[in-house]
Structure 1
Amino acid sequence: MRMKLAVTAAMALSALPLTASAEGEVNIYSYRQAYLLEPLLNAFEQETGIKANVVFAKQGLAERLEREGRNSPADVVMTVDISRLNELVERDLVQPVDNDVLEENIPENLRHPEGKWFALTTRGRLIFVSKERVEEGAITTYEQLADDKWEGRICTRSGKHPYNIALFSSMIAHHGEAETEQWLEGLKDNLARKPQGGDRDQIKAIAEGVCDVAIGNSYYYGNMLQDESQRPIAEQVRLVFPNAEGRGTHVNISGISLTNSAPNRENAIKLMEFLSSPEAQRIYAEANTEYPANPAVEPSGLVTEWGEINPDNLSLQEIADHRNAAVKLVDRVDYDGE
């Protein structure tokens, strides 16, 4: 109970300064929600005796690190999406970690080439389809989203959202900019409405008959199934793991980076090692219906009911390298326009 209260208090009082260096402590800046971190950090303190202090924010942590500079109390940043992790690298806010445990536990394509970020969980960018209006097997790849048969039948959130930008970046990596632009134009032509809302809203739109096909992260579907009020909506869609028979389904990540300041560096490394361990991987993945990044850990809980995912093994750093090109394509085809 003491650890739970400490974590909750730190998140609630995120505007208050943390003590930079403190024996037996580690300071975390996080975009991830409190309920996802509490069981992890409880287990970490029980195993190591190290207390974790957390500052939670929906945005602005990179800017905060930049302002604080070498005086920042933050040891690590825990966040979601490859673009946010890559932003930390591009702003030179994080340092490389050369660590045998992390390199053994996290596959090469799910970590920065120089160890500046490491994935902790993965989530598939899936296609959701109406059980009633779309036959099983009617769509099996991302490429087919641009087929004429889906004209006026697809819903997505904004093309500029990081989750979609990462998907579009992966398409560039596989097909090049010219072919991806043509595909993106076809996808836009097939939209049932102007891009809007979040991933859950796309599933709701299918249930409401606005569209028959949508794009979304796997864990949103899982979260809806676990919510009694949203379960009936989620149960109206079928999951499709795109490109499962080919290159594999595009995945994004949650991850962790060691800050340049890291006043409690040794404790921070212990935390990073722990989070990559089988015990922590199971806790973290189950908390948000995600997949473990450590390939030695089998998925568990609700996600096992969906069938095995065949993830695209493309390096996420390569995907991040195409981000700017993807953003330009979204603007060029006016994806978010009427």
Structure 2
Amino acid sequence: MRALSLSLRCVLSLTCAGLLASAAQAADNKVLNLYSARHYQTDEALYANFTKQTGIRIQRVDADDAGILARLKSEGTSSPADVVLLVDASRLWRAEVDGLFQGIRSPVLEAKVPAQLRGKDSGQGSPWFGFSTRARMVIYNKQMVSKSDVDTYEKLANPKLQGKLCTRSGSHPYNLSLFGAMTERLGAPATENWLKGLVANMARTPKGGDTDQIKATASGECGVALVNSYYLARMLRSNKSEDRDAVEKIGYLMPDQSGAGTHMNIAGGAVARYAQNRDAAVKFLEYLASDSAQAYFADGNNEWPVVKTVKITNPALDSFGAFKTETTPASVIGMNQVKVQQMLDRVGYK
């Protein structure tokens, strides 16, 4: 009778396909709808392993962070999303503020994911959890710049580096997160003055991605640049001769080892606000905190796992050595992004 009733409704409704799909999914409950900003080939094995362990099939929609947030907003209560994966603290915070996630309580996640790598618990549980981290590193051309002149983020604004600094767009989430962390460390006035110094030291108008910054620094177009660690690790592990030649020409370091520590950005996940498969979604997030999944992040995509007991066997990550990391909560860094964007506009950081 239910099937007949649903069929009659479909005759009268423009959403027939959606109703039938929802009914089939509810009957099965073995499908998880994933919206992912992670575009890494190694993640295919990550997802396949989850299906093998649980029997839950993953249906994935891929887009960048901004595209996923826009889609969730436009879909509203009709969104099929169960889990959302994003690759930046500022985007996770924005989705939290916009009410696109639902808080969850999970003893597994709360035991494994450090408190500073979770969203703010407002009484309903954490709205998101970080599962891997990346360092915002400094690289430099060894023939043009001395290591001691670039071993802190603040030194990048020193006039002696005029005409030597390269970055991607200041408004890119990776930089927004770093600048949000600096705002928390220095205060807004000092951070804005620091950003002015960065603009004054630019070798070129900000452009390209982090791999482009590495190559431009190796070629001598730039003397120093900011990059996320997993881009550099990827080149360190590459068999391509041009990649090997590039990394031989640069030095790299984790900034602020005598101060607040190196800024760490995160990739994280959440249960979508209108998830129809909530239990499966929580199970998937708990799986991402398992030792096997955390090993995929480290060995497959050159990210540091958030679960500290997981053994890392990635030689590129090992080559970075032990280093001091910042302790500012990712949610606090995200909260600063609006203020940071206003500062970038005032100082002319493109």
Task: Give, in whole Å, the separation in 2 of the partners of 1:259 and 1:35.
Answer: 24
CA deviation after TM superposition for structure 1 residue 162, in Å: 1.1
1:132-171 to 2 correspondence within 5 Å? 132-171=143-182
Q: Distance in 2 between matches of 1:249 and 1:300?
A: 22
Find 1:251's aligned residue among 260, 264, 270.
Answer: 264
Q: Could you list the per-position Cα deviations for residues 244-288 of structure 1 after superposition, in whole angstroms to 9, with x for gaps in the alignment?
A: 222110010111010111111111111100101122111122221
TM-score by length of 2: 0.87
CA apart distance, 1:165: 1.0
Contact kept, 8 Å, 1:107 with 1:295, in 2: the verdict is no
Which runs of no fewer than 5 residues in structure 1 stay unpaired? 1-15
Equivalent residue number for residue 349 of structure 2 = 335
Q: Could you report, residue by residue, the CA deviation over 1:161-219 in whole angstroms, capped at 9, with x for unpaired residues?
A: 11111111111101111101111111111111111111111111111111210001001
- Amino acid aligned to 1:230: D
1:72-151 correspondence to structure 2 within 5 Å: 72-114=79-121, 115-151=126-162
Q: Which residue of 2 aligns with 1:12?
A: none
Deviations 1:294-332 (A, max 9, x none): 222243302111212321111011111111110011011
1:167-206 equivalences in 2 (<5 Å): 167-206=178-217
- Please list, as runs of the form range in 1=range in 2, the aligned pairs for 1:258-337 lying within 5 A after superposition: 258-301=271-314, 302-336=316-350
3-state SS, counterpart of residue 296 of structure 1: coil
- Cα distance in 1 for partners of 2:166, 2:39 equals 27
2: distance between equivalents of 1:299 and 1:313?
21
Secondary structure class of the residue paired with 2:149: coil
Paired residues for 1:32-47 under 5 Å: 32-47=38-53
> What do the CA deviations read for 1:90-134 (whole angstroms, capped 9, x no partner)?
221110011111011100000012211110110000100112333
1:233-248 alignment to 2 at 5 Å? 233-248=246-261
- Measured in 1, the distance between the counterparts of 2:109 and 2:85 equals 15
- AA matched with 1:303: L
* Conserved 8 A contact 1:154-1:192: yes
The answer to whether the Cα contact below 8 Å between 2:132 and 2:304 also exists between their aligned partners in 1 is yes
CA RMSD, aligned part only? 1.7
Any idea what SS the aligned residue of 1:66 has?
A: helix
Give the superposition deviation at 1:34: 4.9
- CA–CA separation in structure 2 for the residues paired with 1:34 and 1:206: 25
Question: Larger % of helix: which?
Answer: 2
Letter in 1 for 2:340: A
User: Which residue does 1:3 correspond to in 2?
Assistant: none
**How many angstroms does 1:66 deviate by?**
2.1
Query: Which stretch has the larger CA shift, 298-307 or 131-140?
Result: 131-140
What are the superposed Cα offsets for residues 46-70 of structure 1, whole Å, 9 maximum, x if unpaired? 2222222211123522222223222
The separation in 1 between residues aligned to 2:167 and 2:147, in whole angstroms, is: 20
Quote the residue 2:5 is aligned against: none
Instruction: Go from structure 1 to structure 2 and tell me whether the alpha carbon gap of 1:34 and 1:242 turns closer, same or farther (over 3 Å shift).
Output: closer
- Assess if the C-alpha contact under 8 Å between 1:28 and 1:55 holds in 2: yes
Q: How far apart, CA to CA, are the structure 2 residues paired with 1:69 and 1:133?
A: 52
Distance 2:172 2:114 in 1: 26
User: Residues 137 and 289 from structure 1, CA distance in 2 versus in 1: closer, same or farther, beyond 3 angstroms?
Assistant: same
SS where residue 163 of structure 1 aligns? helix
Is it true that 1:70 corresponds to 2:83 in the alignment?
A: no
**Aligned equivalents of 2:312, 2:264: Cα separation in 1:** 15
Q: What amino acid maps onto 1:222 in structure 2?
A: A
Which residues of structure 2 form unaligned runs of 5+? 1-16
Q: What TM-score results when the alignment is normalised by the length of structure 1?
A: 0.90
Distance across 1 between alignment mates of 2:63 and 2:335:
26
2:225 counterpart of 1:214: yes
Name the residue aligned to 2:7: none
Say which SS state the counterpart of residue 230 (structure 1) adopts: helix
> Number of paired residues?
321
Percent of paired sites with the same residue: 38
